[in-house]
Chains A and B, each alone.
Chain A
């Protein structure tokens, strides 16, 4: 996928998600709110794929950055009246980057289970802070009163969520271009090296720890931006952006789609959130069961996620075509 032997040009299937998103925009106006939510989670999942799929950092605390971004943008608007969307995004990105750098520096010398527990601890601490600081965050009731000024002073956020959807789509597109560029760069190749064999990476002279802190900070920044988008689009921030649950949901989405494949971060949230939307309406009490079964099936029978199954299917198909051609001769 990445590295010194891969072709970095954008192949035609890579345009499919964008075509699909635009088609969705024009054909399903009544689902635009769900669509925006999916776009936001794709950006969030991309940020996780960068550290989990490429650098091999395992985390249950990625919601810390998402939540901090959401609260930063939300509080700026609701408490300080700063309603410009871009200022909100930049502020959220900066806050998440700072938290990413500080906590990354603290925890990235550890590995595996210890690391997992530390990431979880950090987002749990943030959850508790957001819960207690209710004068700022609205605590358990959530933060309401978030309003958004028109984008660039031109595009108002409309009731139907059209502006919001395009706003999220543009943000995701930029995020995708950036991540894609990153994973095909020498930096991305180096991250793959760390994931593949950390001992070897040390032995070729890579300052592994600092590189991990750097990519963790980048990923945190992206997650913060995704969180800010959620706050701006929903005009509300609930406590459920922090803690274990959103981190776990995100992890499930990425595993479902396929880890370390870039587009797993697209497929996972689409399937998960649509299934959630449908199941929660059809079986409000049992919908989590459906998600659980889906995850078990994927983990047991398709370690590469949905995209992994797709790849295998394509390979089998091309083999069959190949042998059919051979026997036709």
Chain B
């Protein structure tokens, strides 16, 4: 079997008596468009935080491209090709959009330790950042300070930073969270146009987004994988409907 892009092996996480991840074994194929769904409190964000290295698992293993990265810290995981976005917008708010993206590219290119030549004379970094912003339709905002940007565009910057890292695996934690529906179309377009060689795991509440974007879906309930399958299988699954209907009625 070919190496997976990202894989977990019986991953567990408990906070005291509370188990938020219960033996999650999960596989993300190279180039996948995989969605992780589940009701509130199912442990989706905790799972992503363990994958990205923000919090350590209680037990189990995480493999990136077949290599065990369970003990590898967060920034080293990024350098190995694991990028992520945040559910709660996590940007350099008082810096320009271009700076936000350039800081990530500079880390990837390892120029961040340079102390002499001015940052603004690193044309290769700025050009790459500009090119990336152009593909996301953010070119006109390049010199805007992030906190002056409409929220929907801030979500795009969040994606732009992650893409600037040229990840092999990208974790998208609710990329359209909080965006008014008339603006979420742009984000969907961007998601649909993401390079095919990046394996993507998306966490999303909006079922429209999930079914348009993903070709594989995993349902997480109370820290456990309830079911995994193609979108049509998930849509037809009684247990999934119970969970969601139960939540809707409860």
For A197, what are the chain B residues with a Cβ–Cβ distance below 8 Å? Answer: 90-93
> Counting CB contacts under 8 A, is A72 at the interface?
no
For B75, what are the chain A residues with a Cβ–Cβ distance below 8 Å? Answer: 202, 205-208
Q: Do A204 and B78 form a contact, CB below 8 Å, given A4-B126, A189-B106, A190-B107? A: yes
Interface residues of A in 190-217 (CB under 8 A from B): 190, 192-193, 196-197, 199-208, 211
> Counting CB contacts under 8 A, is A185 at the interface?
yes
Q: Do A184 and B91 form a contact, CB below 8 Å, given A203-B74, A203-B78? A: no
> Counting CB contacts under 8 A, is A7 at the interface?
yes
Closest beta carbon of chain A to B96's beta carbon, Å: 5
> Counting CB contacts under 8 A, is B102 at the interface?
yes
Closest beta carbon of chain A to B160's beta carbon, Å: 11
Q: How far is the CA of A3 from the CA of B94 in the complex (A)?
A: 11
- Residue from B86, B112, B143 within 8 A of A190 (CB atoms): B112
User: Which has the most chain B C-beta neighbours within 10 Å: A187, A192, A203?
Assistant: A203
> Counting CB contacts under 8 A, is B156 at the interface?
no
- Report whether B95 and A204 are in contact in the complex, using a CB–CB cutoff of 8 Å: no
Closest beta carbon of chain A to B110's beta carbon, Å: 10
For A201, what are the chain B residues with a Cβ–Cβ distance below 8 Å? Answer: 103
- Residue from A3, A188, A206, A211 within 8 A of B95 (CB atoms): A3
Closest beta carbon of chain A to B141's beta carbon, Å: 12
- Report whether B90 and A3 are in contact in the complex, using a CB–CB cutoff of 8 Å: no
- Residue from B77, B96, B112 within 8 A of A5 (CB atoms): B96
> Counting CB contacts under 8 A, is A29 at the interface?
no
Q: How far is the CA of A189 from the CA of B164 in the complex (A)?
A: 16
User: Which has the most chain B C-beta neighbours within 10 Å: A184, A185, A188, A197?
Assistant: A185
- Report whether A5 and B98 are in contact in the complex, using a CB–CB cutoff of 8 Å: yes
Q: Do A3 and B74 form a contact, CB below 8 Å, given A8-B120, A186-B106, A206-B112? A: no
- Report whether B78 and A199 are in contact in the complex, using a CB–CB cutoff of 8 Å: no
Which secondary structure characterizes the binding site on chain A?
helix
> Counting CB contacts under 8 A, is B238 at the interface?
no
User: Which has the most chain A C-beta neighbours within 10 Å: B78, B86, B107, B122?
Assistant: B107
Q: Do A204 and B107 form a contact, CB below 8 Å, given A181-B115, A187-B114? A: yes
- Report whether B99 and A189 are in contact in the complex, using a CB–CB cutoff of 8 Å: yes
* B interface size (C-beta, 8 A): 46
- Report whether B115 and A185 are in contact in the complex, using a CB–CB cutoff of 8 Å: yes
Interface residues of B in 105-136 (CB under 8 A from A): 106-108, 111-122, 125-126, 129
> Counting CB contacts under 8 A, is B161 at the interface?
yes
Q: Which residue of B lies closest to A202 (CB)?
A: B74
Interface residues of B in 199-241 (CB under 8 A from A): none
Q: Which residue of A lies closest to B52 (CB)?
A: A203
- Residue from B76, B103, B113 within 8 A of A204 (CB atoms): B103
- Report whether A189 and B90 are in contact in the complex, using a CB–CB cutoff of 8 Å: no
Q: Do A4 and B125 form a contact, CB below 8 Å, given A185-B114, A196-B95, A197-B91? A: yes
- Report whether A204 and B119 are in contact in the complex, using a CB–CB cutoff of 8 Å: no
Q: Which residue of A lies closest to B99 (CB)?
A: A3
- Report whether A182 and B161 are in contact in the complex, using a CB–CB cutoff of 8 Å: no
Interface residues of A in 266-304 (CB under 8 A from B): none
> Counting CB contacts under 8 A, is B37 at the interface?
no
Q: How far is the CA of A8 from the CA of B117 in the complex (A)?
A: 10
Q: How far is the CA of A11 from the CA of B236 in the complex (A)?
A: 67
Closest beta carbon of chain B to A187's beta carbon, Å: 5
Q: Do A204 and B120 form a contact, CB below 8 Å, given A4-B99, A190-B103? A: no
> Counting CB contacts under 8 A, is A77 at the interface?
no
Q: Do A185 and B107 form a contact, CB below 8 Å, given A3-B96, A4-B125? A: no
Interface residues of B (CB under 8 A from A): 52, 54, 74-79, 83-84, 86, 90-96, 98-99, 102-104, 106-108, 111-122, 125-126, 129, 142-143, 161, 164-165
Interface residues of A (CB under 8 A from B): 2-8, 181-182, 184-190, 192-193, 196-197, 199-208, 211
14 other contacts beyond A182-B115, A185-B117, A189-B103, with CB at 8 A cut-off? A3-B96, A3-B120, A4-B129, A8-B119, A8-B120, A8-B121, A184-B119, A186-B113, A186-B119, A190-B106, A196-B93, A197-B91, A203-B84, A205-B104
